[in-house]
Copies of this chain bind each other. A is one copy, B any other.
Amino acid sequence: MLGTWSDGPTKSAIVDFVGRVTTEGPNYVVPEERVAVFDNDGTLWCEKPIYIQLDFIVRRLAEKAAADGSLADQQPYKAAVAGDLQWFGGAITKHYQGNDTDLKVLAGGIMSLHASMTVDDHAALVGKFYAEANHPTLGRPYLNCTYTPMVELLRYLETNGFTCYIVSGGGRDFMRPVTSQIYGIPPERVVGTAQNLKFEGADGHGELLIQPALDVFDDGPEKPVRIWSRIGRRPILSAGNSNGDDEMLHYSGKPGAAAMRLVVLHDDGEREFDYTAGAERILDHADQFGWTVVSMKNDWTTVFGD
């Protein structure tokens, strides 16, 4: 297993850690406590040049503006119609730099996009997007933009009695329709950002309708909160790649107990992308606390599969 991981200190650290927590001795962890949590964007699948979910949202915003001409002069519709992806990427980059002005405008547009839709209809819409959409520069469907070595890691951990969860700043219900297929992680193990839902029922049946307000923004310090809320256990392995994962890595492992924190470093401009913007703090902390940095360039023999 881990055949697409190059031999070296990173792979050895993973194998050593898994060996220690699964072997009788001072670091042994019972299987039910072998909880592993993974960020999604930039950790399990590609997040450049824009988040995959943002591509979905831009398409949906443009559709909405096409149906209602009065929107075309307003943000975020204006940028969506013009295909101005820099405006969208900028809104999120600015957030990680402490400026939420554009993100709030974008969030307002996103919140209203699927308002009053049932969660089932929304899942069908998301499924349609994945079936049709391709990555803009990598020349492959989005569903083939997962990192093969990370999917191998999920399987390797499961084989060793771990239970793996996704804990992402991305939309919970944007990921769920495909996580079983692409990661082998079922909907009940997907934690993410979500809008409010409202129950409406009558005559013995009921539906859940999406509401135009945020329930949870699953990023930064909210990630550990949602991990406890959903799982009720402290992870012993966590993996992320951006500052929004820093608190999740901090929360992994009880003081004095064995734990592994992985930070995926995007240093492979040839096979994927080369960037550290938005990862400054988590990389500092990896250095400071001895977390394991995964170099895409050096630690992975391949990045994407077929």
Contact = CB atoms under 8 A, between A and B. Distances in A.
Interface size class of A (residues with CB under 8 A): 35 or more
A251 B206 contact: yes
Given A199-B224, A224-B208, A225-B208, A188 B231 contact: yes
Contacts of A186: 32, 232
Nearest to A220: B199
Given A176-B232, A190-B232, A230-B188, A205 B255 contact: yes
B32 A206 contact: no
Given A204-B250, A204-B285, A208-B251, A199 B221 contact: yes
Nearest to A291: B204
A151 B92 CA distance: 48
Nearest to A225: B197
Most chain B C-beta atoms within 10 Å of own C-beta, residue among A203, A205, A206, A250: A206
Interface string A189-208: 01000100111011111111
Contact of A201 (B197, B199, B215, B250): B250
Contacts of A215: 229
A36 to B, nearest CB: 13
Contacts of A285: 204
Contacts of A251: 199, 201, 205-208
Contacts of A180: 32
B205 A250 contact: yes
A207 B247 CA distance: 10
A70 interface: no
Nearest to A249: B204
Interface in A107-157: 119
A194 B205 CA distance: 27
Contacts of A188: 163, 230-233
A275 interface: no
Nearest to A230: B230
Q: Which 9 pairs show the lowest CB-CB distances between chains A and B?
A: A187-B232, A204-B289, A201-B250, A206-B250, A199-B221, A206-B251, A199-B224, A197-B225, A188-B231
Given A176-B232, A188-B231, A199-B222, 8 more contacts: A188-B230, A197-B229, A199-B250, A201-B224, A201-B251, A202-B250, A208-B251, A230-B230
16 contacts: A32-B180, A172-B229, A172-B232, A188-B231, A188-B233, A198-B221, A199-B250, A201-B221, A204-B250, A204-B285, A204-B291, A206-B250, A207-B251, A208-B224, A208-B225, A208-B251
Interface of A: 32, 119, 163, 172-173, 176, 180, 186-188, 190, 194, 197-199, 201-208, 215, 221-222, 224-225, 228-233, 247, 250-251, 253, 255, 285, 288-289, 291
